[in-house]
Amino acid sequence: MTEPTDLPRIILVPVGSVNPRLLEFLILTLPDTFKMPCTLGPPLLDVSQAYSLVRQQYYSTELLARLLTLNQHATTKILGVTEVDLFIPILTFVFGEAQLNGPAAIISAHRLRQSFYGLPEDEALLLERCQKEALHELGHTFGLVHCQSFECVMHRSHSVEQVDLKRNSFCPMCAQTLAHNRLTLR
């Protein structure tokens, strides 16, 4: 039996080469928070158009635009997951980008890895950080803005240390807004 495709759901799209264990982890953890199924979508393998020779990074807004072309249903949220280094022109880097109240978001594991900072790799910590960034960016797609509570997953992060300070959950106020906004998808 196939699942109706017009029901609210999250589709994970690997952007470039992505560790399958990261995708599996997100597919298992995201449905609990968003109360909707999460499935793996087709990969977006050619990221070359988003590459900036000047910055030697990938323009996240360009990748986001390409993810939007994959969305066929108004109730679907698409989360691109990549391991390349993302930027937007006004910032040195971004952990992710999303459309406020839109259908698409993207996160990058690149600067969430301990090895990026010259430290031994820690897969459990990487998965936890990726989960927080996925919750944060998907939260934006459900209309949530940045939260003032430093422990809320919707708090703005300018460094990996700030990511680590956040919990992998929404504060009561953001959770209430998320629940309300999620209901409008049906």
Q: Which of 3, 121, 137, 151 is catalytic?
A: 137
* Residue 137 is among the residues annotated as catalytic for this protein: yes
Q: What would the two tokens of residue 10 be?
A: 């999250």
DSSP state of 95: S
Tell me the residue ranges of DSSP E strands in 2-148: 9-15, 38-40, 51-52, 57-59, 76-82, 86-87, 96-98, 104-108
Helix pair 123-141, 20-34: axis angle to 10 deg: 50
What's the rounded Cα separation, in Å, for the pair 84 and 78?
A: 18
Residue partners of 164: CB distance under 8 A and separation at least 6: 125, 129
**Which are the catalytic amino acids?**
137
